[in-house]
Amino acid sequence: MKIKYTNIVKKQRDFYNTNITRDISFRKKALLQLKNKMEEYEENLYEALEIDLNKNAKEAFLSEIGQVYDELDLAIKKVNKWSKTKKVKSNYTTFGSKSGKVLLPRGLTFIISPFNYPVNLSLIPLISSIAAGNVAILKLSNLTPSTNSVLQNIIDESFKEEHVSVVSDQNFKSFNDIYKEEIDFLFFTGSTKTGKIIQQKCVENDIPHILELGGKSPTIVETGVDTQKHSLERIVWGKLLNAGQTCVAPDYFLVNEKIVENFIENLKIEIQEQYPNVLENNNLPKIINKDSFKRLEKILKKYKDNIVFGGLTDKENLQIEPTIIYVEDSTEIKKTEEIFGPIFFISKYENFSEAIQLIKEIDPNPLAAYLFTNNNIQISHFVHEVNSLNIAINDVIVQISNPNVPFGGIKTSGVGSYHGRFGFESFSLQKNIMNKKWNTNLPLMFINKGTNLSKTRSLMRKFKKILR
């Protein structure tokens, strides 16, 4: 019988109030235990990911398990440093005092993870939460039962349930029960549609939150790229990783009209080299369920006259072969939702400024944005004009795997950021601390005694120079 959600919350709240999670050595020990259990169950994770998503071991390691190890190693190494009080300069109003900021735990955190990267997108935010000294409840996707079973074992053997608990729909009467209990922080990864609902609930219940959503991430392809083997390899790899079911996958391609035909022909060749005979060889991850498969089939049917490569499907095995759709009219891109599948949706543009304008019209706040060019002026224009927080030049997707930079969205693509130190900070409360000597006062600070306005302004200027 599943433990009631209310009981889990109470146990975690009581455990957090013992203050044991504030101890840095306790946090490091917990992270080390998680790493040990990850290593112990690594082969089981590969098997489970193949069952749930048809991911092979190499793809699973590169996109999921390897990245979790990177985050664990970084957090274990840096948690002492991240937790220290940082001294900051005083200004004239705090003269005679010591000022600083310290990151402290938020408390009880709730993490909701999606199906597409069930190991990566559940454990990396969990690592941030544990490193920051919180307790955590982890809600896994119902669409990956085999992986969930392994993750449940890893969590159960790494933590006491009052420290970290895994929950499922069986723990709730309804999803709204989540917000009926006191939660100090919520982290959600998933669709924009669901994210909006969760954000509204968080606002209604005063719950601080991070939302990692999605959107239509653009790729501009400039002249010269059509013959660049390395660029074509990266584009195909990134688009077809997890069969396109990646929140930062290239959603559509705007290709310079001078090279669009040659680009498509060379793209076909590269797809065949990386993923030959997908339906026969079963060498591409599957679409997660029948509903997603039907949604992608509708796109293929709608644009059947625009398919220039691929287009075949295997309903029984939920497989869709890599497909290229080419539309002359770029406004068609705006008519499709986020593709989230192995479909290359391509159109052309006449000049670079036109391509930038199209991006703003199609989805003005994409989660990621990509540009293939060696023109520095175009690169500068792209970086400053495209309103995405995750930009890569001459590559795709890999920019978010670096734990030394933040990953997050803006407006419709998300709220807040995480990874590495940035995740630690997001799962922490930043406290401002000022410690003033009891026998130090500045006469200029008192309104009706001490200095007049002219003298006060003069002294302020002098203090500012001293404190620079």
The catalytic residue positions are: 212, 247
Concatenating the DSSP letter of every residue in 62-128 gives IIIIHHHHHHHHHHHHHHHHHHSPEEE---GGGTTEEEEEEEEE--EEEEE--SSSTTHHHHHHHHH
What lies within 8 Å, CB to CB, of 190 at 6+ separation is 112, 114, 212, 213
Q: Indicate the burial class of 92 (C-beta count within 10 angstroms; 0-12, 13-18, 19 or more).
A: middle
The alpha carbon torsion through 324, 327, 333, 335 (nearest 10 deg) reads -110
Q: Pick from 395, 116, 337, 356: which is nearest to 215 by CA?
A: 337
Q: Which amino acid is at 314?
A: D
* Dihedral pair phi/psi, residue 77, rounded to 5°: -70, -35
Give the separation between CA 104 and CA 353, rounded to whole angstroms. Answer: 46
Q: Pick from 341, 340, 333: which is nearest to 359 by CA?
A: 333
Report yes or no: 135 and 12 within 8 Å, Cβ to Cβ: yes
Give the separation between CA 245 and CA 465, rounded to whole angstroms. Answer: 56
Strands (DSSP E) along 176-277, which ranges?
185-189, 209-212, 218-221, 252-256
